[in-house]
């Protein structure tokens, strides 16, 4: 975990603007934060993902990080990420230790500015899924994401431009869209740091 913590702490996040997002105002009307929580598991650094229930109006059945829209009562985007993780999987807000951020981006569907915040947990957490928001909690070792054949990419023509779409084919689940983009960015930051040493 030490090398990943150092990689995140020293990384300067970029803001990815694509397609119509380039023409958006500098202050998007909607902002969201997700929590990328990492802990040392039996197979090394491990992150927490969730599967959204089928009854949800948006993104039903998709794999996601805990997170959601910034609330006016939230002191910061960090507090948004902690609150959402508490609501979705009952992660104690006092446990995550903030490490830094990876690249922010504007979603293609809702044009929401998403801020992925990476945090460390000193021990594997005890979690409980909120049935209204989470169908399944997944504990995914990063080494599994880097196993040959798990990652793939496709080019999609969307909003008048070609975009690289990322996919991670886990056992029984496929991670794609914004979550796969964040996972790819996380692994890229971590491995670049290791290669520099």
CB 40 within 8 A of CB 74: no
Residue 119 covered by a domain? yes
Residue 116 belongs to a domain with what CATH number?
A: 3.90.79.10
CA 44 – CA 39 distance, rounded (Å): 8
Domains identified in the chain, total number: 1
Domain that holds residue 59: 2-143
Residue 168 covered by a domain? no
Residue 133 covered by a domain? yes
Q: What per-residue confidence (pLDDT) applies to 109?
A: 61
What is the pTM for the complete model shown? Answer: 0.89
Q: What per-residue confidence (pLDDT) applies to 126?
A: 96
Residue 150 covered by a domain? no
Report the DSSP pairing between strands 63-64 and 173-176: unpaired
Q: What per-residue confidence (pLDDT) applies to 153?
A: 93
Q: How far is CA 27 from CA 6, 24, 44, in A?
A: 30, 8, 38
Q: Give average pLDDT by consecutive 10-residue segment, the chain, 197 residues.
A: 89 75 52 95 96 75 92 94 98 98 81 90 97 95 95 82 87 92 94 59
Residue 135 covered by a domain? yes
Token readout for 76 is 């910061």
Q: What per-residue confidence (pLDDT) applies to 197?
A: 45
Which residues face 164 on adjacent strands? 155
Per-residue pLDDT tens for 144-191? 999 999 999 998 876 677 778 899 999 889 999 899 999 999 999 988
Per-residue pLDDT tens for 124-134? 999 999 999 99
Residue 45 covered by a domain? yes
Residue 31 covered by a domain? yes
Q: What is the DSSP string of 136-180?
A: EEEEEEHHHHTSTTTEEEEEEEETTEEEEEEEEEETTEEEEHHHH
């Amino acid at each position: 975990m030490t090398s990943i913590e150092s990689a995140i702490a020293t990384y300067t996040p970029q803001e990815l603007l694509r397609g119509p997002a380039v023409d958006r105002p500098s202050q998007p009307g909607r902002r969201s934060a997700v929590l990328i929580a990492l802990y040392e598991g039996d197979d090394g650094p491990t992150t927490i993902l969730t599967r959204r229930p089928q009854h949800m109006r948006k993104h039903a059945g998709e794999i996601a990080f805990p997170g959601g829209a910034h609330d006016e009562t939230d002191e910061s985007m960090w507090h948004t990420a902690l609150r959402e993780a508490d609501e979705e999987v009952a992660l104690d807000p006092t446990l995550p230790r903030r490490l830094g951020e990876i690249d922010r981006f504007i979603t293609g569907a809702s044009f929401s500015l998403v801020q992925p915040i990476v945090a460390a947990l000193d021990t594997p957490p005890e979690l409980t899924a909120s049935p209204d928001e989470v169908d399944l909690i997944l504990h995914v070792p990063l080494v599994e994401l880097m196993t040959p054949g798990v990652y793939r990419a496709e080019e999609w023509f969307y909003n008048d431009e070609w975009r690289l779409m990322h996919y991670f084919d886990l056992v029984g689940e496929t991670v794609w869209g914004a979550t796969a983009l964040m996972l790819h960015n996380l692994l890229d930051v971590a491995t670049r740091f290791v290669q520099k040493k």
